[in-house]
A and B are shown apart, each in its own frame.
Chain A
Amino acid sequence: MDYVINFLSVSLYEGLVYGFVTLGVYITFRVLAFPDLTVDGSFPLGGAVAATLIVGGVNPWLATLVAFIAGICAGLMTSLLNTKLRINALLAGILMMVALYSINLAIMGRSNVSVLREATVFKQTAQLFGIEHTTTLSVIFMVVLAIVILGILNWFLRTEIGLALRATGDNEQMVRGLGVSTDMTTIIGVSLSNGLVALSGGLIAQKQGFSDVGMGIGMIVMGLASVIIGERLFRPRGVTTILFAVIGGSLVYRLFLGIALRLGLPPNNLKLITALLVIIALAIPYIQKKVRGEWIPPAARM
């Protein structure tokens, strides 16, 4: 029984931490219709910044905040490449992802940095309440943080700027016709998205005890998988339910992965499983239509 509870709580906090990546991917892919691949670089960027600062003696809370800001900067670069230099969104993200690999190595000075013996936001929270640093504490920490961030996003996406951001992904021409710079909304959205992703990277580095330059590989696919699972499973409608569904998708994804690992799947196959999961999730509606003999539109390129 303890084993099950432990498994569930680990899945829960991992799902919540990676849920920020999912929220970031949701903002770019779904809200802005901007297929941003910077994520694979901005996730380890968050880890690299947080870990390096913590090792250098910086307060872990401050280090985590700087990781968030570093992610915003990465997203800012990608969106500037797209809006000011007119580089295709997909390519702008790939370029930043590649550039960030070198930048992350430069920040850490080597391919990984350990924070096992350093202070982290999790350990400091435990100290603050004078209790042991346990999984339960991590879960509570993440639930509180997730509620705060969901609350902020839920508010932001309903504000006047937030509305313009959502409309940009829906109907760019209309948004310009109504007097909004779609360059500006794209920059805000992509920056915010990568900030969330880097925040997640910074927290994961502190949780697992190290930051690694390769920890971002496949993040974008994982984020997409979680978004799709959330959408298919919970069929959300309206901003609030969509945000919860996206986090829910991340939790379900972690649960699946945890079960697969405990059933004896070699960890090396994780990325393959993730890719398969996305393929299956995307193919199901097609197959359903095929079986029902419905009309299917031609394949899309974007």
Chain B
Amino acid sequence: MIKNQSLVKLRKVSKVFLRGSVDEVTALDNVRLDVGAEDFITVIGSNGAGKTTLLNVIAGVYPPEKGGKITINGQDVTRLSEYKRARYVGRVYQNPHIGTAAKMTIEENLSLAMLRGQSRGLRIATNKKRRELFRSVLVPLGLGLEDRLSALVGTLSGGQRQALALVMATISKPSLLLLDEHVATLDPQTNRIVLELSEIIVQKEKMTTIMVTHNMEHALRYGNRLTMMHKGKIIVDIHQKKKSGLSVNDLVVAFERASGERFADDSIMLRNVDS
């Protein structure tokens, strides 16, 4: 990948929480990352490795420490607030409740999402034309949501809400999609459906994607590039060619070599047993 084709660039990005206190945590430690426009990167790592913090600084939930720089599409967004950055960045959270508004209807949620990053005016938010668009993006989910446009989102199941959140994150075709352990709370079957939907949407819209996961097999099966985080650093970064053919065991070996520590995260190992 040629350097100047990078969609997202992180330079010297660090994040320290509770600085100066006994509980000081370095969640991100001088991270450098180039995300190519065609990349679908999976990020794995144990709890506290800095995966979600990485997504939060990219999305602009909080800025990195001084000296760090983040660019999206060549534009310096380091100090740009989350809502201003949202036009470039769609995100699906681990908790389906965060990605959707429970007391509003499906069509109202989609209408809110459709206008991501655009100015909102005094036009009525839902009309016939928009409803048709909403139906067309809901049909591929195969959940029948297209017939329930006026149902309150709070009446949907967790899996349905997460599928809707995925559609909401992508309906305006932002250049970057962040998936933050977005299937971790779903049952194994729904989990697979939502993951497959994610892949279909990403491929169809050619979206640059960063997917955080706890599950090594998911990290291997999806995407063209795999990164592993440990103590706030990206310690393993495997590109397309080497990635295919890797096994969970290879990843454990790669981790131990890169971190100089024994791999001892039961949560990652156990999750692989479920799937």
Q: Which residues of A contact B (CB under 8 A)?
A: 155-156, 158-164, 166-167, 170-171, 173-182
Q: Which residues 74-97 of B have a CB within 8 angstroms of A? A: 81-84, 86-87, 91, 97
| B124 (CB) vs chain A CBs: closest residue | A158
Do residues A179 and B117 form an inter-chain contact, with CB atoms below 8 A? yes
Do residues B112 and A164 form an inter-chain contact, with CB atoms below 8 A? yes
Known A-B contacts A163-B108, A179-B87; the reply to A158 vs B125 at CB < 8 A is: yes
Q: Which residues 95-124 of B have a CB within 8 angstroms of A? A: 97-104, 108, 111-113, 115-118, 120-124
20 A–B contacts from the bound complex (CB under 8 Å) = A159-B120, A159-B123, A160-B123, A161-B121, A166-B104, A170-B102, A170-B104, A171-B102, A173-B98, A174-B98, A176-B83, A177-B59, A177-B86, A178-B86, A178-B113, A178-B115, A179-B84, A179-B117, A180-B112, A182-B83
A159 to B108, CA, bound (A): 10
Please tell me which one of the listed residues A163, A173, A182 contacts residue B125 in the complex, with CB atoms under 8 A apart.
Answer: A163
Do residues A171 and B116 form an inter-chain contact, with CB atoms below 8 A? no
A132 to B116, CA, bound (A): 55
| A184 (CB) vs chain B CBs: closest residue | B83
A170 to B83, CA, bound (A): 17
A167 to B100, CA, bound (A): 9
Across the interface, which residues of B come within 8 angstroms of A163, CB to CB? 104, 108, 111-112, 120, 125
- Nearest CB in chain B: distance from A207 CB, A: 32
Across the interface, which residues of A come within 8 angstroms of B86, CB to CB? 176-180
Known A-B contacts A159-B124, A160-B121; the reply to A179 vs B101 at CB < 8 A is: no
Known A-B contacts A158-B125, A161-B120, A177-B82; the reply to A167 vs B101 at CB < 8 A is: yes
Beyond A163-B125, A171-B97, 11 additional contacts (C-beta under 8 Å) are A160-B111, A162-B125, A163-B104, A163-B108, A164-B112, A167-B104, A167-B112, A170-B104, A171-B100, A171-B101, A176-B86
A176 to B84, CA, bound (A): 8
| A163 (CB) vs chain B CBs: closest residue | B125
Do residues B121 and A159 form an inter-chain contact, with CB atoms below 8 A? yes
Please tell me which one of the listed residues A161, A171, A176 contacts residue B122 in the complex, with CB atoms under 8 A apart.
Answer: A161
Across the interface, which residues of B come within 8 angstroms of A164, CB to CB? 112, 120
Across the interface, which residues of A come within 8 angstroms of B112, CB to CB? 163-164, 167, 174-175, 178, 180
| A237 (CB) vs chain B CBs: closest residue | B152
Across the interface, which residues of A come within 8 angstroms of B104, CB to CB? 163, 166-167, 170
A159 to B126, CA, bound (A): 8
- Nearest CB in chain B: distance from A77 CB, A: 23
Across the interface, which residues of B come within 8 angstroms of A158, CB to CB? 124-126
- The range of chain B's interface size is 20 to 34
A178 to B121, CA, bound (A): 15
Do residues A160 and B122 form an inter-chain contact, with CB atoms below 8 A? yes
Closest 10 CB pairs of A and B: A179-B86, A160-B120, A170-B101, A179-B117, A163-B125, A171-B101, A176-B83, A170-B103, A159-B122, A167-B101
A181 to B81, CA, bound (A): 9
Across the interface, which residues of B come within 8 angstroms of A180, CB to CB? 83, 86, 112, 120
A93 to B102, CA, bound (A): 27
A173 to B87, CA, bound (A): 15
- Nearest CB in chain B: distance from A224 CB, A: 19
- Nearest CB in chain B: distance from A191 CB, A: 16
Do residues B101 and A174 form an inter-chain contact, with CB atoms below 8 A? yes
A167 to B116, CA, bound (A): 13
- Nearest CB in chain B: distance from A113 CB, A: 37
| B98 (CB) vs chain A CBs: closest residue | A173
A173 to B81, CA, bound (A): 13
A133 to B233, CA, bound (A): 78
- Nearest CB in chain B: distance from A158 CB, A: 5
- Nearest CB in chain A: distance from B19 CB, A: 20
Across the interface, which residues of A come within 8 angstroms of B124, CB to CB? 155, 158-159
A161 to B122, CA, bound (A): 6
- Nearest CB in chain A: distance from B82 CB, A: 5
Do residues B98 and A171 form an inter-chain contact, with CB atoms below 8 A? yes
Across the interface, which residues of B come within 8 angstroms of A178, CB to CB? 86, 112-113, 115-116, 168
Do residues A160 and B115 form an inter-chain contact, with CB atoms below 8 A? yes
A173 to B118, CA, bound (A): 17
- Nearest CB in chain B: distance from A152 CB, A: 11
A176 to B82, CA, bound (A): 7
A243 to B86, CA, bound (A): 32
Interface centre among A156, A166, A171, A173 (most CB of B within 10 A): A171
A63 to B130, CA, bound (A): 42
Q: Which residues 142-163 of B have a CB within 8 angstroms of A? A: none
